[in-house]
Structure 1
Amino acid sequence: MTSLNKMPDIVLSAIIENLDYRSLMILRKTCHDIRNFIDDSIPASSITEIQLNVNPEQVVLEFMYSESVSQEKLYSLCGQEAFDLFWKDFEIILKHQKLILKSFSVTLEYRNGLNKLEASVRERVNLRFLSQLKALLEPRRRPLQVEKLDLIMGDQEKIMCVLPYIDADKINEIMIYPGPKRETVVFPLDKVVETEQWKNAKKLATSNFVVVEPIEKFTHFDNCRIFMDTISVEMIQKLKENLLFSKTLKSFELNHRPHYQSPELTHIFRTVFDGSFQDDVYEDCWFSRIPGDNEHALVIRSCYYSWITFSRREWFMIKPNYERFN
């Protein structure tokens, strides 16, 4: 029987192309000839999702081959050798990642109640990790292709170690979460909102922080969920003007300070919108007709948890129940 390393290259390539990533790495360790062949040919892996979870003790690397098959590896950070082992393995994964990832997630674990020394150690670990990750992502000839990017980390500078090195033409969804902090924090994004990745993405989800950038930096998303400290007539008017002609708008959710039944909120909506109506779910909704479109209207509604939502709705669903403002 002919051994693998004695087979013609075309036969060996056909075998390798049918292996998942785990099997490929097992095969790579069988002998030097096979390892060299795999490293030279760089077959594509079958990985669809990658998750990195970092804390001062370890890095957890999890990747999925399909919706039901996954693999998890833990790397201790208690020594340079273990740290280097993780990056060696991860570099190999990235080298073979030629297909678009459905999801790429980087989590820098956050804990409340740390003393200054513990917080300092955690910050050093995070910065060291992100510096190495950037060093792997930045020089790639083709940026890492990702559909959904989840970044769970504490500030904009950390985000900028990852986001600019994702393929701007492939990214569809961005999720940003600073971690489970006790209070909602202000989270500047002035550098993030200028990236091509941000401008090209269609869906944005944020949590546990307040945005301070101009509202226009968010209105290109088809789906958007953000927190703002306060709202005003001017802001809602600007949002309406930006969203009015968006044919792809699905939902724009805005968390705000005024209670959903407050006179202040009612005044804002009556000032900005053409009329109001009631539906089966929300007591009051407001609408504006879309110029040149007789079939749809831009609708805003408010709910119990201080969220207001913009969406497009078919006009026939509103027409029987609406009240037009003077």
Structure 2
Amino acid sequence: MSPSFLEIPDLPIEIIMNYLDYIAIQSVRKTCWDLRNFIDDKKPGIGMNYIEISQTSNTAVRLAMNPPLVRHSDSRSIDLIYEKLEHGCKIRGTTGDEWKTKIVENLNFLDAALHDFKVALNTQKAPFWRVTVKCFSKTFFEKLEEIMKSQKPFTTESIEIHVKSHEHARQIIQHADPKHLKSIEFYPQEDLTSIHETVELESSKNIQNLSHFATASIHFENQDVETIRAIKEHFLQFHEYDKHLYVSNNVVENMFIDAFGAAFEQPRELEQNWFFNVPGNYVKVLKVVNGYRSFEFDFVEKCEVPEGYMILD
């Protein structure tokens, strides 16, 4: 009697499944608990490059996924709309070339969309290129938070967040694995602020490690002398000198002078500049710029320090 598929050793099964695209893997996953557990553990198959869950109205949610653009061009994209019905949920959209509509009785449309979103996150082996979340209602956000708290952080190189408030965005960001995260784009309804490659820097007591970010651009809320000094000391600990922090806020008058002392200002210069020695580096210096409507921290060559400026310790 020939052995069944489930009697094949794990390694050959995984090799076979690595040729399957996302839709095929999900079909196999639904066949039995053994295969479901195997897929959830090994995460085989051709993963998705991009995933988006977005609230399109108070009664509809979109879930879209795209495969890698270069490799596996035969893999299928997924674009689904989950709509609220009086006694259930209507799911319509495409999984490749096929358009379908399905009505499920006694199923909440948000629960259905978020369940499929969670499955997609959990069956992805490699980091996504981008995860996009557009969430504007309180109910949607609370349900999203509920499912995200019940699983491990998801891995993505970038994340795009459209929400009602800064606080909602911060809570969503906490569910992304920082090891892989390279960029964040954040669009709160209350304040159209874009954040690229950043972490939360709201107080000197909450400054996190910026070592895996090359460039940061943020909207800084609670500015004070202690925080400015802490950022400077944090930068001086780096051993990679491609770091650049840009903060787009009006600067409190004399805050930088209180932090670092009087700045040497060139005639007709519209900004204040300070330069600091970098411990153990005789080539680079840390440059701090106060542009009054923004400020910056970055490393420059010592030879770039203009004549007349003092390099501070």
TM-score by length of 1: 0.63
CA distance in 2, matches of 1:88, 1:266: 49
- Other-structure match for 1:124: 139
Q: Which amino acid aligns with 1:217?
A: N
Deviation at 1:171, TM superposition (A): 4.0
Relative distance call for 1:174 and 1:183 in structure 2 (3 A) is closer
Counterpart check, 1:74 vs 2:68? no
Contact 1:154 1:179 in 2 (8 A): yes
CA distance in 1, matches of 2:310, 2:171: 50
Contact 1:59 1:77 in 2 (8 A): no
Contact 2:228 2:256 in 1 (8 A): no
Q: Which amino acid aligns with 1:105?
A: T
Q: Which amino acid aligns with 1:148?
A: S
Relative distance call for 1:252 and 1:239 in structure 2 (3 A) is same
- Other-structure match for 1:300: 288
- Unpaired runs of 5+ residues, structure 1, are 110-121, 185-201
CA distance in 2, matches of 1:58, 1:267: 52
More deviation in 291-300 or 37-46?
37-46
Alignment of 1:52-63 (within 5 A): 52-54=53-55, 55-63=57-65
- Other-structure match for 1:321: 307
Contact 1:148 1:173 in 2 (8 A): yes
Deviation at 1:66, TM superposition (A): 1.0
Relative distance call for 1:307 and 1:267 in structure 2 (3 A) is same
Secondary structure of the 1:101 match is coil
CA distance in 2, matches of 1:269, 1:8: 68
Contact 1:49 1:104 in 2 (8 A): yes
Contact 2:14 2:44 in 1 (8 A): no
CA distance in 2, matches of 1:289, 1:276: 19
Relative distance call for 1:146 and 1:125 in structure 2 (3 A) is closer
Contact 1:63 1:72 in 2 (8 A): yes
Q: Which amino acid aligns with 1:218?
A: I
Counterpart check, 1:246 vs 2:238? yes
Q: Which amino acid aligns with 2:54?
A: N
Q: Which amino acid aligns with 1:251?
A: H
Percent identity between the two aligned chains: 16
Deviation at 1:309, TM superposition (A): 0.8
Deviation at 1:53, TM superposition (A): 1.0
Instruction: Give the aligned CA root-mean-square deviation in angstroms.
Output: 4.3
Contact 1:299 1:310 in 2 (8 A): yes
Contact 1:231 1:257 in 2 (8 A): no
CA distance in 2, matches of 1:178, 1:150: 8
Relative distance call for 1:314 and 1:160 in structure 2 (3 A) is closer
CA distance in 2, matches of 1:148, 1:98: 16
Alignment of 1:237-316 (within 5 A): 237-248=229-240, 250-258=243-251, 264=254, 267=257, 271=261, 285-303=273-291, 306-316=293-303
Relative distance call for 1:40 and 1:243 in structure 2 (3 A) is closer
Q: Which amino acid aligns with 1:226?
A: I
Relative distance call for 1:291 and 1:255 in structure 2 (3 A) is same
Counterpart check, 1:107 vs 2:117? no
Contact 1:285 1:302 in 2 (8 A): yes
- Offset from partner CA, 1:207-260 (integer Å, 9 cap, x none): xxxx7x31352363144333235755554334323322323351112223249x
Q: Which amino acid aligns with 1:44?
A: P
- Greater helix fraction, Structure 1 or Structure 2: 1
